[in-house]
Amino acid sequence: MSEAPHLTFDLDTPGLSTGHLVVPKGSDCEALSLPVFSLNKGEGPRLLITGGNHGNELEGPIVARRLVEWLPEAQTCGRVIIVPEINPLAVQAWTRNTPIDGKNLNRVFPGRADGSATERIADAVSRLLLPMADTVFDLHSAGPTMDFPPAVITHPIADADLMAKTLRMAEAFKLPMTLVWQYHDTLGMFDTWAHSQGKVFICAEFGGGTVGAEALAIYEAGVRNALITLGLVEGEAEYPTFRQQKSSRTLETLSSDLLRSPTRGIFEPRRSVLDEVKQGDLIGVLHPMESLSADSIRVRAPTTSIVCMIRSGGHVDADEEIVYLARPLNL
């Protein structure tokens, strides 16, 4: 019989303690040891912070490790568990999915004890870490091909009370955008499983493009704002400056708000994230690839809306996602 997933230390130890979450070996790889930081200041909110769910989104692991530097001192109550890299196999390979089994950790929750490596990780997290928390911050980012503002994302939740609590928590980050995303592919997401367990689950989506010092500072400020709202640390929340503005908008994007590339080519963005566009406004230009001298195709806004994601200039295939539009959330 195979070993069960376990922690190498006692999460109830007061103060800061560190150890590992051991994911048992399987037929595809040896046992994995995920570094875990437990910050126990007694009664209060119980929070789990995870990074590295997708291994090519390194803002999460970096911001999680920055929290470990100052949070043990700043935290006044409650319990925080930080796992900077919940998918170390993908983080080490710098790939979205786990290289061993090709699986997306964020689509296999709650996992399987007798499954492949990715499923065993999800199983260990679901059994041993998720029950210890009432709130989860899962730190993602948009990757290098999409331009995206620092944001917190949630998907529509059937339970109205949980939806309202989640939205309040999301807005507490005070990031430039809070987005309710009607997304088609939520089965097996960490989000979906945590919601089913009644948890408030926050997916910080943290911008696209270059991972620079300014972007990391905005992300960390967002998490700190949320920690203040939760009552875990003292201080005053601050709106981080993004594109010369300090503001925060709550938007929703529907399945119909997605624009896809009309053909294969080089996409040239003509708008930036959070720009408002009117019907017919130019959003981007597609330069067809097969014939470099063919006429370019102009991509225009089908309706008055706000650009919430736009593809970075570069190659796109036909029917690939190039722009997500959004509108103010109307609850």
Binding positions for its own copies, rule: CB under 8 A: 18, 35, 58-59, 61-62, 65-66, 84-85, 88, 91-92, 94, 144, 147, 208-214, 216, 244, 266, 268-272, 287, 289, 292-293, 296, 310, 312-315
Q: Which is nearer to its own copies, 16 or 62 (CB)?
A: 62
Q: How far is the CB of 232 from its own copies (least distance, A)?
A: 23
Q: How far is the CB of 321 from its own copies (least distance, A)?
A: 15
Q: How far is the CB of 290 from its own copies (least distance, A)?
A: 9
Residue written as token pair 């900077």: 84
Q: How far is the CB of 173 from its own copies (least distance, A)?
A: 20
Q: Which is nearer to its own copies, 150 or 208 (CB)?
A: 208
Q: How far is the CB of 231 from its own copies (least distance, A)?
A: 28
Q: How far is the CB of 323 from its own copies (least distance, A)?
A: 11
Q: Which is nearer to its own copies, 33 or 303 (CB)?
A: 33
Q: Which is nearer to its own copies, 33 or 76 (CB)?
A: 33
Q: Which is nearer to its own copies, 217 or 254 (CB)?
A: 217
Q: Are 21 and 83 in contact (CB under 8 A)?
A: yes
Q: How far is the CB of 314 from its own copies (least distance, A)?
A: 5
Kindly report the three-state secondary structure assignment for every residue of the chain.
CCCCCEECCCCCCCEEEEEEEEECCCCCCCCEEEEEEEEEECCCCEEEEEECCCCCCCHHHHHHHHHHHHHHHHECCEEEEEECCCCHHHHHHCCCCCCCCCCCHHHCCCCCCCCCHHHHHHHHHHHHHHHHCCEEEEECCCECCEECCCEEEECCCCCHHHHHHHHHHHHCCCCCEEEEECCCCCCCCHHHHHHHCCCEEEEECCCECCCCHHHHHHHHHHHHHHHHHHCCECCCCCCCCECCECCCEEEEECHHHEEECCCCEEEEECCCCCCEECCCCEEEEEEECCCCCCCCEEEECCCCEEEEEEECCEEECCCCEEEEEEEECCC
Q: Which is nearer to its own copies, 38 or 135 (CB)?
A: 38
Q: Which is nearer to its own copies, 133 or 309 (CB)?
A: 309
